[in-house]
Structure 1
């Protein structure tokens, strides 16, 4: 598993430096920029207020006409959620950027959208898919700027950094080292590069650590730490502390490692960095196990699993609150147990000498038992909270089902639009046959354009919406069955949604017989002809 020092080196701030100018005479764009600046300033002190300011900036931007400012405020809000470890919410905003850019055919923002999705995949340690997203992002930036040299330095540094992390995650250490060193070679002394330079040096240290060169790793880590001398950046400082903790632990200096891990934990907790906290808890569990402090090791192991569940299942912050309450309960119980053991030994010594000390010891035991009952009461409250969280999870599943229905409706609307274009094409054809000869060439040109436009837009929009819900479905389908047509893919998506033949016919405007024939052809193409498994069963588990 990749270390946290690599993961947090991917913060997408390198793409959010430039705020586009607006010609809005009302000055709304200036207010949006001010709100974005205030949001970033508040994040380290009060992340909830920072989020609210970012939302306000996005709402104000959407009331104007500056599309660049709207996209920038959306990117900023997604970035804030990303930094908090709320990757499901961040993905929503990054997907919104990609969808809007696709609609507007904006190569610059297409590149940024794929870049951000690559960052999300990198944090989830899906390195192959992250690499694919970064390759797509680079392609769109090159399409916009013609050559890599014309791309802004911030974005180039981001690509070198993140491709380096990808290759490190894939075990291609020399490629990782080459990418990161190429980024470091582009650095200069400007303050705006402090964040990315810290990430680059820290990630280079991780590469050397993997290569077994501890001296070079230490040198890179302390260079990363030195970058932060002019900037108060808790996220990056936590990142470097964790890296140093890991290398000290690997060399057997457990006390020094413990200092850095605890400093990193405090910093990560200050900005609710759940991805950081997950990795720190894992390392602390291993360290306490080596120190033979099994209570602490178990406590941090449980906390690590809780943060891992939160990241993988994309639960809300209430889930994290439950986990924090659980660790607080465990620590309090552990402290009470140590207190009880310490005073129990004193009790046995005192009873040998003074009868009066027995009464004092008994009073202390009674007090401890009362405290234990209080702790048990807290445990009951936690169990009730767990039931509430389970209920909320059920509601989330219902929301997912509603999302599926909404996506089907969008597909129906898109296909109806396609039908309208077909009718328009037929009308123009009739007009062409009965019209004046002088308009013959113009009508033929218009007909050709309509036929081209109507061929793929509906399916493309449907696939984009469907793909955001079932990530990788179409890619996997086309990899295994490359001979599937566009209609086969659309039918496969409807079957993944568990729609019946009648429902598919109603959505697509086809006859039930036509849909049945399509299903027969699809069974043959995916080699289910001689299988007892139905198409719905096949795609339910696909």
Structure 2
């Protein structure tokens, strides 16, 4: 049967053998097997990681050398896996991930085993911690398949809890779905207080994100209750639960409750003072005491927080130094010296080439810039010329339109005068034949003037200013045909006097009509010119 894998996003990795460091060191001299030497060196490094990081790195290097010398793929994979565990415990997640992936290259081609499943669990957790939830979910779902095959309810609940957490910051409803599935599984299991504490803490965070404060508070209370009921719960687990509840109370501005739970987290982590969880607890304490204006306690907890932060920063710097060591291709001083000499010999050459390249690049950029500037200038000139041509054509069409309208109006006026004269002649004519001839002539003249002048004007106007009437009607649907006619004449930039001549009205009547039109167009209290406002309706769109 596959081993049950215990993990959360705050995960505990399987520990290597716990023999005394001094005994293990002594045993190295008496062992000939390179594989066993690698295993023991890893064990020493694991035990020294919290107390003497430099010595831990030294024994990691020995373990690596022994693994390589063993020429055993399995031993090398075990070294990478163990090194990944050590760097994960120091929160050097990028280095841990590199080691785990190298180990996984071996185990992915082997039959499933407890070690390969644990490694997939570790990869899932690391990807979750470095904000790559999709990759984390890939491994969690593989683990889910193993758990279903074994019908391991507790393991399934843990996996669903972790999948939910991978969705929490992006898809809250998806996170809630997986948490609730985990919750349903745990209803059949009376124990597992620690897992229930984690799950209820995550449900509390979920409902807080969904602005359901009452439900969030209920689940946070359950999380604290479960963790306090479990005498076997780890200090890191207690610290995470209490910090989660404390953060919730801080966000809803219940400072006293936030301080109570942050204090519990700090006390639970008394044996792990220099950890990120304890740093978070101390930060919450000093910030909330500061908000309460309790400067004495704020100063005290800030000093503790500062000490933990400095310690963690030092460890982070040490991890970064190790990262550089891991990536070096040359493993002895002679090769490093040769590389440095090679760099010195070529430095001036590289600098020269770099300078030439930069100058060439600047020359090319300058040439392209000048061409682009010239082209831009030509394009602008072309655009201006084209616009002038369009404006000129429009002015010509407007003049032609006005001219035709004036001719038609004057022709109509002349015909009207002739008709009046014919009426007078008919009245004086004595003969019936003369009267019938006059009627015939008058009828033909009336037929020639029967066409609607304004309909013809509007048709020609629409050909020049295609979308004017449509845009005007869309914006002001209540305008009458007379209003639209006046708008068209104003669009042609005609004065009131010119409009009066065309329409046969007095200039005063046209001015009154313009005032009424401004009111209908809702620009009475605006400084905008009426003709300028109407020009905007000539745009296509």
Instruction: Pick the TM interval, shorter chain.
Output: 0.3 to 0.5
Higher helix proportion (structure 1 or 2): 1
Greater Rg by CA = 2
Higher relative contact order (CA 8 A, sep 6+): 1
So what's the TM-score if we normalise by structure 1? Answer: 0.44
